[in-house]
């Protein structure tokens, strides 16, 4: 009997050390997918799109901006690794970032600050495409950027200056197409660069058909139902006001107390 109690006590201690909360369950799932990665935070993924100003002479300037920002954030949030991919098209950008919630909020704040500058020459009209929470694994193994010189796809999609040839896709379809292509591209990059010294840019050059077409991003940027960084941050920092069942009763409990 004493032995059973001791074993039960050891099991309880082990459970307390490992943790049984939802946080620990998510971390356990991530460790199963990536046993070699040191994990101190829940993993989230942010995807944003933005137009590039015509006065942006060199798109590499935006890539350098994010390189320097990532370095500052990693020094401040030590252990919060940043991975992702920044694609710089002729007229717009698509940015995927994977890290902790604190890092992603800092990136959104940087986007908001750039947007609020009166003469910002790096981006215009950034929009949040999606924020994914509590991911089991990373889609990218490092952060990098690529300057693309690809023409906008013609036919089904709408170019920035061209006429509409067919009915436009709805926003949900465009977002779904973008996410699906990014997932396939990320998986391809992971396989192609594993155990290879080939630069990521060279891998992307070999599979232009896997890159999200610029036309799709231009359409997304023209829609009014995507949140700006400012709108997203405002919603993020606004506390939830949940109406309890007790607040739905009539007469209110305060009135009952007064009557009795």
Distance CA 96, CA 139 (A): 9
SS3 (DSSP) at 238: coil
Which range has the worst mean pLDDT, 42-51, 120-129, 134-143, 243-252?
243-252
Phi, psi for 120 (deg, rounded to 5): -75, 130
Q: Residue 53, exposed/middle/buried by CB under 10 A (0-12, 13-18, 19+)?
A: middle
Average pLDDT over residues 161-177: 75
Higher pLDDT, 245 or 156: 245
**151-162 residue pLDDT tens:** 655 434 444 444
pLDDT at res. 162: 47
**12-67 residue pLDDT tens:** 544 444 555 544 455 555 555 555 555 567 899 999 999 999 888 899 999 999 99
Q: Does 214 score more than 90 pLDDT?
A: yes
Q: Considering the chain, what is the average pLDDT of its residues?
A: 80
The answer to whether 148 and 90 have CB atoms below 8 angstroms apart is yes
Domains parsed from the chain with CATH numbers: 19-228 (3.30.70.100)
Q: What is the C-alpha end-to-end distance of the chain, expressed in Å?
A: 57
* pLDDT band, very low/low/confident/very high, at 11 (cuts 50, 70, 90): low
Q: Does 135 score more than 50 pLDDT?
A: yes
pLDDT at res. 156: 42
Distance CA 143, CA 243 (A): 42
* pLDDT band, very low/low/confident/very high, at 236 (cuts 50, 70, 90): confident
pTM for this model (two decimals): 0.74
């Amino acid at each position: 009997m004493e032995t059973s109690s001791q074993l039960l006590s050891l099991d309880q201690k082990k459970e307390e050390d490992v943790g049984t909360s939802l946080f620990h369950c998510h971390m356990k799932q991530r460790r199963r997918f990536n046993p070699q990665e040191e994990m101190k935070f829940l993993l989230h993924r942010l995807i944003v799109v933005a137009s590039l100003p015509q006065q942006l002479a060199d798109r590499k300037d935006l890539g350098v901006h994010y390189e320097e920002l990532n370095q500052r954030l990693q020094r401040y949030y030590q252990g919060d690794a940043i991975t992702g991919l920044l694609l710089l098209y002729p007229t717009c950008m698509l940015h995927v970032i994977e890290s902790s919630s604190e890092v992603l909020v800092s990136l959104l704040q940087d986007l908001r600050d750039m947007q609020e500058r009166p003469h910002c020459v790096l981006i215009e009209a950034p929009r949040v495409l999606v924020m994914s929470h509590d991911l089991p694994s990373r889609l990218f193994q490092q952060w990098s950027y690529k300057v693309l010189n690809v023409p906008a796809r013609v036919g089904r999609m709408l170019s920035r200056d061209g006429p509409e040839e067919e009915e436009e896709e709805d926003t949900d379809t465009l977002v779904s197409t973008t996410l699906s292509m990014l997932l396939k591209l990320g998986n391809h990059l992971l396989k192609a660069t594993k155990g290879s010294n080939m630069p990521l840019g060279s891998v992307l050059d070999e599979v232009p058909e896997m890159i999200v077409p610029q036309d799709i991003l231009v359409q997304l940027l023209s829609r009014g139902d995507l949140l700006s960084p400012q709108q997203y941050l405002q919603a993020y920092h606004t506390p939830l006001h949940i109406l309890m069942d007790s607040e739905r009763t009539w007469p209110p409990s305060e009135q009952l107390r007064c009557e009795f």
